[in-house]
Amino acid sequence: MPALLTVSVTMVLVIVAGTVTLSAQVWCGRAVNSEPLIYRISTTLNYVAYELGVQDMLNNDVVRYAANSWNQAKNSGRLWPVLEKTVVGSYDVLVSIDYGDDADSICSNDSVLGYYDSSEALIAICIPPFEEGYYESAQHVQSTFGHEFGHFLGSGHLSVPSLMYPTDSYSVFGIYAPNSNDKQNLNDLYEPCYGSGGPPMCQWPPYICEMSASGGEPV
Ligand SMILES: [Zn+2]
């Protein structure tokens, strides 16, 4: 039984261009029609629409649209899990808001729009230090949530036009839902590891398979 490596990563979406590290690792494959991943919306997020200046759209809908954009991209044959909302009970990730008002907050860095923290099972969108009105449209908010859901599903950043572009894909490309690059990348990540036990060895949270020329083995 190979040793398993627990993943604990905080992935952020930034405005300014930064170094993009493309990992040679892939997630262990998960079986098609695997269990849904459950997200829950924090109560504090109920105020986010007003703060963001997009009062015309309930914030819960923005989050739901972001999650459903991945579900719709999934279609038949896609390997990643469905994102499913819950209002009570256990969840795989909490969707919330970070006001960046303490010094060690990721959001206190004024280039960060949102982040996914796997160790906290948290997706958060940053409000300050962006002034009110920064998010000029609901699609812009959806783009940020959708990007972080992409990280939650296991995707890293892509250097091509995509929702997983590292620097605000809505402002740069007008993208607010997964495109063909995002779909292909995520599907590739969920391909079973070659030469290993494949999906039966995998569990959530996903463990990393090291890929090699002769085939990957979970490490
Ligand atoms: Zn990101």
The architecture (CATH level 2) of 10-218 comes to 3-Layer(aba) Sandwich (3.40)
pLDDT at position 48, please? Answer: 61
CA 54 from centroid of its chain's CA atoms: 22
127 and 97 Cβ atoms separated by less than 8 Å = yes
Q: Rounded mean pLDDT of the chain?
A: 71
Rounded to an integer, the average pLDDT of 149-171 is: 92
pLDDT at position 181, please? 94
* Sign (positive or negative) of CA dihedral 129, 127, 66, 186: positive
Distance 1 CA to ligand 1 centre (A): 33
Give 196 Cα–ligand 1 centroid separation in angstroms: 29
Q: Print burial letters for 128-165: b (CB count within 10 Å at least 16), e (below 16).
A: bebeeebbeebbbbbbbbbbbbbbbbbbbbbeeebbbb
HSE-CB for 94 with a 13 A CA cutoff: 14
Each residue's pLDDT tens digit, 86-129: 999 899 999 988 877 677 777 776 677 889 998 889 998 886 54
What distance in angstroms lies between residue 152's CA and the mean position of ligand 1's atoms? 10
How far the first Cα of the chain sits from its last, in Å, is 10
DSSP state of 193: P
Q: Ligand 1 center to residue 95 CA distance, Å?
A: 15
